Amino acid sequence: MKLYKRLSALALTLILSLSLAVPALAVSDSQTLSAQTAAQAASTLGGAVSVQYALWQDGEIVLTGHTGTFSKTENRVLMDSDLYGIGSVSKIYTTVAVMQLAEDGKLSLDAPVTRYLKDFKMADPRYRDITVRMLLNHSSGLMGSTFDSALLFDDSDPSATDQLLERLSTQRLKADPGAYSVYCNDGFTLAELVVESVSGMDFMDYVDRYILEPADLESTFAPASDFDTDRLARIYQGTDTRALPRDCLNAVGAGGMYASASDLVAFGGALTDTTLLSQSSLDAMAYPEYSRGIWPEDTLDALSFGLGWDAVEWFPFSQSGIQTLVKGGDTLYYHAGLIVIPEYDMAAAVVSSGGTSTYNELTATRLLIDALGAEGVSVDETVPTLPAASPAAMPAALTAYSGWDGATSVQYRGTVSADGHLTLHCLNYPSIPDQIFIYYSDGTFRDPSGTLLLSFVQEKNGETYLYQKAFSTLPGLGTLPVSNYAAVKLPDNAVSAEVQAAWDKVQAMNVLPLTEKYTSQVYLSMGNADTGEAPELIPGYLGAARIADAQSALYVPQLPGVGGRDGQDLRFYQENGVTYFTANNSLYMDAAAAPVLFTGAGWSYSTIQDNGYARWYHVGSAAGKTMTVHAAGTGGFWVYDAQGQVVASSVLWGDTSAILPTGGLVVFAGDPGARFHLSFRA
């Protein structure tokens, strides 16, 4: 995959079956029908294989249900006891653990992390200012997600978490600690390590004893837990009917847990009372932590961070003065949403194989609106409109806002013309038509339909942000408001012609990962983000990274919310004639340097060297031959066609042989010393 697309990618109609179980408390037929309709809408819109949901009210589960199919090939009924990965909803369990330890006086939220993790160091002196609170409210300033070999297939290897401190030791911060909240997975993996250090227990042992047992949760697990993994709803790649191996996200405190919707909603229910935490701790989790740093004035958005929570203000409940706590979670294959309304002792959970967490959250929203309605509590679902204004003559000074606007995964060229038009050109996908916005009397720019508003906001940190506001209505699910900083002005960065030429050459490279474990999901996802388009780049930048010199580019955007997540400092170098590229800790090589697969007299072998790097080969003249692999040691292989799609894999399908495609690639990965004996036949 081209380098730029690889980096951008790392920053996602079924026949539906119906099966409901209605426990003790009375639930109206209309509530059941509405729940199923919403779940089906989420499934259809997101292309989910299956969706499972549950509603908690007044101390017990009052509604459960599911839609879709457990498996595309097995004759097996989808059940409420099936398990799903809950992704980042795991962060709430981590937050509860930290808050319990704080209640016990074993840690302080506002103490530096270094007090509890003596080996925590970074290549940036500001790391000493990171507090435990900043881990939980996403304001630590960490780059984001050090997930090297964390996303694995049927492999509970904990090394991604075990090696986090070592990997962070070479990273810098992208922002001052506490400056603003921007979604950050590494903060919660650090919080997991804090729990272990302070409690003296393995993280999941702590969770089992102090969270799952007190709340009577018997269907919540981590990849390394002892449980029946056959209960996990099957996952798939696109339209392929072959189920993939178990999805394991081994940064457990950040996103690695599994649960049924019933267990997840019961956990949410335990956060409506003092089963797990004191009321003061619950209130602290629900505090608008985002307000401690830079944030847009209008907070009607999908994000409004608390401690652990993605949102402590959620539409449409916020319009009726009802505080609603929300957490979504996504792995590459599972998705989850948990919503808790403490005031009314209610919670809803929706999990799925395929789909998206946003649709699951909106389904949970629908369940809760109906449940409140059944109790005589009305929720104002009126869709807000943009502030009243009309087209107007634009002050000439606004033309100065022309320039480059960037976030982690998308960059724009914005042109403000004297006639009052703002034109946005998407550099990442240049085939997308330019968007044109008209100046209005309130100082904003709006699209021709009047449904999307943009403005330039100068913040107290000196940065200029591209603010956006809109309302998206999804059929059968409701409305999702948007009110956030979409991008930040990127300063011009003049570099010499020689330096620019060097980076132009690098960004055009096809790159191959070298340090991912052989079970890594990266090997399957490599070709998925390749749109076939050649992106345009900002002069002096590679994506959102400012070119510093001939070998390094540094992440720039100071962007709260989600647009500034997962920053990467980039570096390339040559060694023994091969160009290598690093993005934070991830290491890649120029695909052109991979040798051609040697077939010899019908056999050859490949050995993983002491550095543990994956061994990549071009198929070359071996195209059309059948390659048979006999592995000695721990490892696996993957075969790709010319489009970068996996056509054979010992990890996914237990393949021991493959017909080699024209223009394809083969990779062998494993422990140092693992040897792959290869034989070939026409």
Pairing of strands 626-632, 257-259: unpaired
Burial class for 21, CB neighbours closer than 10 Å (0-12, 13-18, 19+): middle
Q: What are phi and psi of 457, to 5 degrees?
A: -125, 125
Residue 132 inside a domain? The answer is: yes
d(CA 401, CA 406): 13
Residue 505 is predicted with a pLDDT of 87
Burial class for 676, CB neighbours closer than 10 Å (0-12, 13-18, 19+): buried
Residue 364 inside a domain? The answer is: no
Chain CA centroid to CA 254, Å: 10
Threshold 0.75, pTM exceeds:
yes
Q: How far apart are the first and last CA of the chain?
A: 29
Instruction: Please choose, from the candidates 321, 331, 215, the residue with its C-alpha nearest in 3D space to the C-alpha of residue 268.
Output: 215
Three-state secondary structure call for residue 675: strand
What letters, b where the CB count within 10 A reaches 16 and e where it falls short, cover 256-295? bbbbbbbbbbbbbbbbbeeebbeeebbebbbebbbebbbb
Residue 507 is predicted with a pLDDT of 84
Residue 422 inside a domain? The answer is: no
d(CA 485, CA 466): 6
For the chain, how many structural domains are there in total?
A: 2
List the domain range (segments joined by +) for residue 607: 594-681
Going from the C-alpha of 525 to that of each of 165, 210, 459, the distances in angstroms are 26, 37, 37
Supply the DSSP string of 398-446, one letter for each residue. Answer: GGGG-EEEE-SS-EEEEEE-TTSEEEEEESSSTTSPPEEEEEBTTS-EE
Residue 298 inside a domain? The answer is: yes
- Dihedral sign, CA of 117, 118, 122, 124? positive
Name the domain boundary from 317, 351, 385.
351
- Dihedral sign, CA of 574, 576, 577, 578? negative
Q: Which CATH number characterizes residue 626's domain?
A: 2.60.120.380
The answer to whether 676 and 604 are in contact (CB under 8 A) is no
d(CA 483, CA 153): 37
Residue 526 is predicted with a pLDDT of 87
Name the domain boundary from 351, 371, 403.
351
Residue 130 is predicted with a pLDDT of 98
Kind and range of the H or E run holding 512: strand 511-513
d(CA 613, CA 111): 39
The answer to whether 296 and 485 are in contact (CB under 8 A) is yes
Is the peptide bond prior to 316 cis by the omega test (within 30 degrees of 0)? Answer: yes
Instruction: Please choose, from the candidates 174, 468, 182, the residue with its C-alpha nearest in 3D space to the C-alpha of residue 303.
Output: 182
Q: DSSP state, 320?
A: G
Residue 126 inside a domain? The answer is: yes
The answer to whether 514 and 666 are in contact (CB under 8 A) is no
Residue 618 inside a domain? The answer is: yes
Residue 527 is predicted with a pLDDT of 72
Residue 580 is predicted with a pLDDT of 95
d(CA 250, CA 158): 6
d(CA 493, CA 552): 14
Q: Give the mean pLDDT per block of 10 residues along the chain (682 residues).
A: 46 25 41 79 93 97 96 96 98 98 98 98 98 98 97 98 98 98 98 98 98 98 98 96 98 98 98 98 98 95 97 97 98 98 98 97 96 96 94 97 96 97 95 96 95 96 97 90 97 95 88 97 82 82 96 97 97 93 95 93 91 97 96 96 96 97 98 96 90
Q: Which CATH number characterizes residue 116's domain?
A: 3.40.710.10
The answer to whether 657 and 628 are in contact (CB under 8 A) is yes
Residue 245 inside a domain? The answer is: yes
Supply the DSSP string of 126-191, one letter for each residue. Answer: GGGG-BHHHHHTT-S---S---TTTEEES----HHHHTHHHHHTT---SS-TTS--B--HHHHHHH
Name the domain boundary from 290, 319, 351.
351
Residue 488 inside a domain? The answer is: no
Residue 12 is predicted with a pLDDT of 27
